[in-house]
Every structure is written in C-alpha cells, then in structure tokens.
Structure 1
Amino acid sequence: MPNAEKLRSAARLQYKRAVLWSHARRGDLVCRLMLHEHLADPYPLYEGIRAEGPVYRSRAGVQAVTAHELCGQVLRDSAFGRRNEDAGTAEPAADGPPAAADAPAGGGNASFLDGEVADHMRWRRLVAPAFRTRKIAEYRHRTEEVAHRLLDAALDRGGDFDLVTDFASPLPITVISELLGITDVDVDRFAHYGLVTGRAIDGVRSVRQATEFREAAGELDAMFTALVRRRRDEPGDDLVSDLLRPQGDERLPEQEIIGTCQLLLTAGFETTTNLVSNAVLRLLSDREQWEALVADPKLAPAVAEESLRYDPPVQYSIRVVRDTLHLGGVTLPSGTVLMLVLGAANRDPDVFPDPHRFDITRPDAGQHLAFLSGAHYCVGAPLARMEADVALSVLAERLPELRRAGRLRRRPTAALRGLLNLPVSSGR
C-alpha cells in the first residue's frame, strides 16, 4: 500500500473511531460494545440494551436485537439478508459492525458463508455430507487420540500448562486440518490466522491490522490454491477431494472451493477453541459443577450446551432488511442493518429461567442460538459439539484436580468471545 494511501486510511480509521467514541460517551451502548469497553463481561451491557426495548437504535448504523424470539425470527426469515448485497465486501470494513460482523475469512474468495439463501443451500448440499452423523462418529476416535496426545505432551512438560495454547486450540486445528487433507500442520500459524481473521470481524482499527489481514488471507489463498490443484490431479479421502467431485449436475468453481476451505479452516477451529476454553473457565470457577463432571464425564455434552448458551463463542451476527417491515413493534426500512446480539438472546429471561446462572443440568440449554438458526444454521455444529464432548470428558477423566493457575487473557474482540490464554495446574 503506497504511503499516501496508508495515511488516508489511517486518517479514516482515526475519524471513525473518534465518532464511535463520541457516541459512546453520549450513552450509545452498541458503540461502547464496539470500543471493547466490556470485553471482560459484556452481559450487563446487553441487559442495558435489552432494557431499552426489543430493537435498540444505535448511532453506529445498526439496530440491535436482544430478544430470543426476535433473533430466531430474523435468522429463519428470508426477508432478512445475510449482508448488504450491494456492499460486495472482500475485506472487513473499518471500525463498525454493519459490514464487518460477518466478514469472510478468506479475503476476496467466495464462501458459502457470504451467499444468500439459494447459493448457500447449493454449497451446503456439497459440504454437509462431511458433517453427518456417520462421519462425525468416524472423526471421534481420531479426536480422542489427539486429545490424549496433547495432554500427554503438556503433562510431560510439567504439572502446569496453558489450557488454550496446549489443548483447546491445537485439538480442533488438528482435526479440521486432517478433514481438509492438510499435511504438515503448523498449529501456531493456523492459530494466528484465526486470531487475525477473528479480530477483523469487529472491523479494521489500524493500517497494521488491515495489512495483517491481507497477508493472512493471501497465505491461506496460496495454501488452498495449491491444495485444490493437487487434489484435482490426485484425489484423496478428504473434504477438498469431495468438493471437487461433481454431484449430479452441480460442481463448485475452484475459487468457491478455495474460499469455502478458508472459512472451514478458521471457523472450524475458532468456535471449538472458544467453546472449550469458555466452558473450562466457567467450570473451574464453580468447583461443584466441575466435580459433577468429574464424577460423570458423560455430562460433557450438557456442559457444552450450557456453555454455548451462557457464554457463546459468537456474540452477535449481522442481517440486513430486504424490504420495509415491522419487527418488535418497530418499523424497519429496507436496508436497515440489524445486530442480532446472540449473547443477550441466550440469556433472555422469557426463555431461560435464572438466565445468568451457569447450570450444567439446565434442561432447556439446547434452545440457544449459538449456532444460529434457519438456512444459515452452522453446518459444522455437529463437529464442534463432538470435539467439545471429547475435550471436556478427557479433561475430567484424566485431570480431576485441574485448577486455574494464573491470570487469563481474553481475545481482543467483541464478536468472538474466547480466551488467548488460560494457565491451569493439573494438580500433579
């Protein structure tokens, strides 16, 4: 990027941040969220938004929805688009949620995340077989092997380790990489890709961040371009080879496959990493519930569901109104951008009694919207659930005395909620 363009870009970013700051100081709750004022605990802020009514108008250019019923309605209704179809966003926008919150992880390549319903369903038909029940059962044994190997390595280095970097992150990275047919996996590099693309979802806040995003997107593009072309000549038993095979009259173009692979890689481990780390953090803060899991590791799926409800990895999602309509008694003109605050919807007291209490025996936890709903329901949800089940049950079985052993660090994002580090002690 030429120096003059960098200066202009930096000036625009500074101006937009100043605008957000000004609105936040005047009481705009969404602007406060976007300025990362409440990363440690955003839930009181969500309750403040909820108290203002079912649809909260922010000066950030969005209207925030916190009610579970309304969020579910928007997610399932084709009257609401995935994104502004005129935006054509190939990179995340600067410092604001309207275009950024569902930005593609792969730069300029298309992926099924970006598509409207018709295209999305076409891609989904080709991708979904990799996440069916039979396939997930096949992946489970390998996931268990990886989980035990990671714990063995961590314990060999001593009784203390980092739950995120030594376990919760490399576990799903390894699994999704094998599913895609990636060899010579660089766990640290892939984790970096996830961090860079995840931060961009909140909006680009500096020229340096924009450069990092472009570099990560370029590296992912080069890696998957080479992989797709190799698999075209030498098919294997992996998802990339499956995507290259025509299904009847349907065939995905190469660039769509590359974009889809980029999304599956980063989204395929980011959600699980955050799910596992959020769940363990909560359990270790409540010894009674941790000990309940230790006594019965088969509770792991219930722990995962309650964690998805209580502290979901994805905190909000963006939709755009196609034509003027009414929602929650509010008139929304065509083009209105909605921020669906999933973290708030999952604690809606009209759906979940005592919603701010973490309870692994909660019978209705599965009603959460952590994996969205409708046509864009997360295709990888079965994989994430299986990986979380394995991770939590293996930890409970092998490390019953697990405890926190230092200060944690959170991801510097509002849209994705998780940890960068969680020091723990095995008790050995």
Structure 2
Amino acid sequence: MVVRAEQLRRGVRFAADLYGGKARGLLDVHVRRNDFARLRSVVDPYPVYEQIRTAGSFVVTPTGHLASADHAICDEVLRSRRFGVAPESSAPVDQAFDRSFLTRNPPDHTRLRRLAAPAFAPSRLADFRVMVETTVTRLLDDVAAAGTFDLVPSLTSPLPVAVINELLGLPEREGTTLAAYGAVLGDAAPGFRSLRHAQQVMVAADKLTRLLDQIIDERRREPRDDLISALVAAEGDGDAPIRADELVPLCRMLLIAGFETTVGLIGNAVDTLLDHPDQWALLVADPELAGAVVQETLRFDPPVQRTGRVSFDETEVAGRPIAAGQWVNVLIGGANRDPAVFRDPAAFDITRTDAGEHLAFSSGIHHCIGRPLAELEATITLRVLAERMPSLRRAGRVRRGNATLVRMPLSLPVRAH
C-alpha cells in the first residue's frame, strides 16, 4: 500500500511538472513573446532564427540561459574546451536515456568515443559503399512499379536500419525492432508531449534496454566479427576501456544517432530538391552532384537543429560575460544561414562553394563520429534516385516532426513517373 501511494505521488508530480511546463511554454510564446520559446511552436524555424540573430549576439531563454544563431559564436562555443555537454558536478544521466559519450565530457567522452571510432574508419566505409548502393537499389526496385510511394517508410527509414544492422552485427528483424524502439526514444528528445507519450517512451526504453542486454549477453557467449563483440571484448572493471553498465548506452546511442541523422538528411534533401525543381534538374543532369546536394542540405536544412553547451567557469564570448554553469543553446539551423558566412544564405544552391562551412555535425571534440557514414548513405541515395527516377515529384503533402531538435519529414509522398 505504501509503495502504491508513493507511485501515485510520483505520478501526480510528473503530471504537474509536464502540464505546468506546457502552460509556462504557452505563456513564454504568446505573452512574453520570447523568440527562443517560439521555436517549439513553429513548423518553419528559419524566420525565428533570423529574428534571434537580428536581436544580437545572444538572446535570453525563458529559463535565463542564452541562445545564439551567430555562426562565429556557435563555432567558438562548440570548439571551446571551457564548455561541455554537462556540468562537471552533474548527477549521472537516467540509464534509460543515457546517450553514452554524447552526454559526457572528457575523459569519459574520449575513452568511449575511441572504442566506437574504428567502426567508422575509412577502410570500413569502403565496405559500406557496396552495401548501401545494393540496399538503395533494392528498395527502389520494390516501389518502382507502384509509381507512387511514401519516401520515408520506403527508403529513408529502412536504409539506415540496414546500415546499423551491418554496423552492430544484427539480424534484419532484430535490428528493425531495435530501430523502432530507438525512433520512439529519439522522438522524445525535445520532451514529453503528454502522459500517454511519456508512457510509450518509457515502455520503448525498457524494451530496447532488455533487447540490447540479451544481444550483449549472446556476444559474451559467442563473439562475432561485429562492433558489439568488439565492445564486449573491451569490457571490464577499473581501468578497462568500458564498464558493463556502459555497453547498453553506447549501443543505444549508435542506434538512435545513426538512424535520426540519416533519415533527416535524406528526407530533407529530397523535400528541398522538390521545392526547387531547377536544383533537382541539375542533379538529374549530373548525378555526381549528389555530394554537393548533401553538403548544401546540411547547411540549408540540417536534421539536427540545435545543441547545448554549459560553461565550466566564468568566461566571455563575443564580449558577453558567461557565468559558470551558464548554458548556451547553439542554434545550428540558424548559424548555417548566417549572411556573415554564407552568400545569399536563404537560397538553396547546390553549386555554391561555401556550403562546407556548415555546423550540421557540430564541431570540436564532439564533432559527429558518424558523419562520413551518414554522408555516404545520403550521397549514394540521392545519386541513385536521380538516375532511377528523374521525373520524381510530389504526390501529397509532406508531414514533418518537431523542429526544435531534429527536423525531418515523417511522411513524404512522391510519384516516380
């Protein structure tokens, strides 16, 4: 009875915090007119980024922290060793939502990242190239006869799942199940939308953890030539490269990050190309421009829209004093359209020469470890799509997810001929 009473109290507190936060959010948007808060309520965040950048180097968030859409400031904060992804004295992240080295500062960040790095070495990318091209061709073969299809479930989602399966050494069915749970967790990154959503996320987190635990136990008994087996081989206590309780978070992070970024990158690229028929025509005429399309998409409409860094001590950025413990929200989507860096930044131009200055994969020591693989998947997909379906066009309305953290189409109906 005591346990049930405590569970009830927790539930009441959780509900009060959730809906109280929503009420404060509405107040911040509609009464206080806070630009940063408005990012949670708009489908197109780019006009808001422009207002934030016009307001000055920084704007103050509703919680009293800072945000910037200035490219130079964002780059400096991301590169600076005086900022980290968590306060130095912070409590451990909840096990269900721990994203391994993405949520850790050095030296733990360095130690865990080093374990995953060999999986993304140039030699491995050469192996993935054939596998990605074969998978894209097969997926397009499956939908070519129908003519009309939804790009997301038909192509942008199954491709990264297949790549993750190969990376982690998972059977297709097992990897698809893991990716489905991971997608639920990734969708919760901006916060819970309702009590029902919170319950769905917690169930998915529990099932994902259980399944990864089973796979890790299998690799302990029967090692294979895959990344999970390599991580298990490094497991131990004390000075070992990785502890037992760090295995699931690292595998989960690779799963979620590899899925979200690639789905968003390919989906945003195709969606933007269909909005700009002249640019699609350029790609169709020369499919080798696919790599340029990827870089321009990462600049123009990156899947990861923002990240955060916290100051370890008192410092200064662009003349603004930053207190110890002060968070700076790095608005990547806004920085990537800074006119101080990019010529005609609101134009989608796959022939531009300055797209490579984008911050879509972060910068500094937290620069995305999977960037080469995500770019490879997207480049091959766009090249093959242009070659196989040159008459591609819209067949319905695009439906997008929350633009606060990760921006991607959830549904993108297209017609091939």
- Give the deviation of 1:237 after TM superposition: 1.6
CA gap of 1:325–1:266, structure 2 versus 1, over 3 A, is: same
Moved more, 177-186 or 129-138: 177-186
Moved more, 259-268 or 80-89: 80-89
Structure-to-structure mapping, 1:115-264, within 5 angstroms: 115-156=104-145, 158-185=146-173, 189-190=177-178, 192-246=180-234, 250-264=240-254
- Give the deviation of 1:399 after TM superposition: 0.5
> 1:393 aligned to 2:397?
no
Q: TM (normalized to structure 2)?
A: 0.94
Contact 2:307 2:330 in 1 (8 A): yes
Structure 1: 4+ residue segments shifted above 4 A = 186-191, 247-250
- Give the deviation of 1:246 after TM superposition: 3.4
Unaligned stretches of 5+ in structure 2? none
Please list the CA deviations of residues 198-223 of structure 1 after superposition, one character each: whole Å capped at 9, or x if unmatched.
23221223222222222111111111
Please list the CA deviations of residues 14-48 of structure 1 after superposition, one character each: whole Å capped at 9, or x if unmatched.
111111211222210111113xx212x11000011
How far apart are the structure 2 equivalents of 1:402 and 1:378? 31
How far apart are the structure 1 equivalents of 2:286 and 2:340? 31
Residue 98 of structure 1 is matched in structure 2 by none
Aligned pair partner of 2:287 in 279, 297, 321: 297
Please list the CA deviations of residues 326-349 of structure 1 after superposition, one character each: whole Å capped at 9, or x if unmatched.
112211111111110000111111
Residue 310 of structure 1 is matched in structure 2 by 300
Residue 285 of structure 1 is matched in structure 2 by 275
Q: May I ask how many residue pairs the two structures share in their alignment?
A: 409
Residue 50 of structure 2 is matched in structure 1 by 47
Aligned pair partner of 1:64 in 61, 64, 67: 67
Aligned pair partner of 1:419 in 395, 404, 409: 409
How far apart are the structure 2 equivalents of 1:110 and 1:408? 30
Please list the CA deviations of residues 159-191 of structure 1 after superposition, one character each: whole Å capped at 9, or x if unmatched.
100111110111011111221011143676455
Contact 1:109 1:256 in 2 (8 A): no
How far apart are the structure 2 equivalents of 1:140 and 1:58? 43
Query: Which secondary structure does the structure 1 equivalent of 2:59 belong to?
Result: strand
CA gap of 1:374–1:321, structure 2 versus 1, over 3 A, is: same
Contact 1:29 1:45 in 2 (8 A): yes
Aligned pair partner of 2:319 in 301, 325, 329: 329
Residue 265 of structure 2 is matched in structure 1 by 275
CA gap of 1:352–1:82, structure 2 versus 1, over 3 A, is: same
Which amino acid is the alignment partner of residue 23 of structure 2?
Answer: A
How far apart are the structure 1 equivalents of 2:302 and 2:415? 25
- Give the deviation of 1:245 after TM superposition: 2.7
How far apart are the structure 2 equivalents of 1:279 and 1:358? 10
Query: Which secondary structure does the structure 1 equivalent of 2:362 belong to?
Result: coil
Query: Which secondary structure does the structure 2 equivalent of 1:416 belong to?
Result: coil
Query: Which secondary structure does the structure 1 equivalent of 2:216 belong to?
Result: helix
- Give the deviation of 1:196 after TM superposition: 2.1
CA gap of 1:83–1:57, structure 2 versus 1, over 3 A, is: same
Which amino acid is the alignment partner of residue 26 of structure 2?
Answer: W
CA gap of 1:261–1:85, structure 2 versus 1, over 3 A, is: same
Contact 1:46 1:66 in 2 (8 A): yes
Query: Which secondary structure does the structure 2 equivalent of 1:50 belong to?
Result: helix
How far apart are the structure 1 equivalents of 2:363 and 2:85? 12
Residue 6 of structure 1 is matched in structure 2 by 11
Q: How large is the Cα RMSD of the aligned pairs? A: 1.9
CA gap of 1:320–1:345, structure 2 versus 1, over 3 A, is: same
- Give the deviation of 1:155 after TM superposition: 2.2
Residue 29 of structure 1 is matched in structure 2 by 35
How far apart are the structure 2 equivalents of 1:251 and 1:332? 34
How far apart are the structure 2 equivalents of 1:186 and 1:411? 25
How far apart are the structure 1 equivalents of 2:98 and 2:282? 46
Residue 112 of structure 1 is matched in structure 2 by 101
- Give the deviation of 1:127 after TM superposition: 0.8
- Give the deviation of 1:413 after TM superposition: 4.2
How far apart are the structure 1 equivalents of 2:396 and 2:86? 41
How far apart are the structure 2 equivalents of 1:186 and 1:129? 23
How far apart are the structure 1 equivalents of 2:210 and 2:403? 27
Contact 1:110 1:256 in 2 (8 A): no
Contact 1:109 1:255 in 2 (8 A): no
How far apart are the structure 1 equivalents of 2:284 and 2:235? 45
> 1:38 aligned to 2:42?
yes
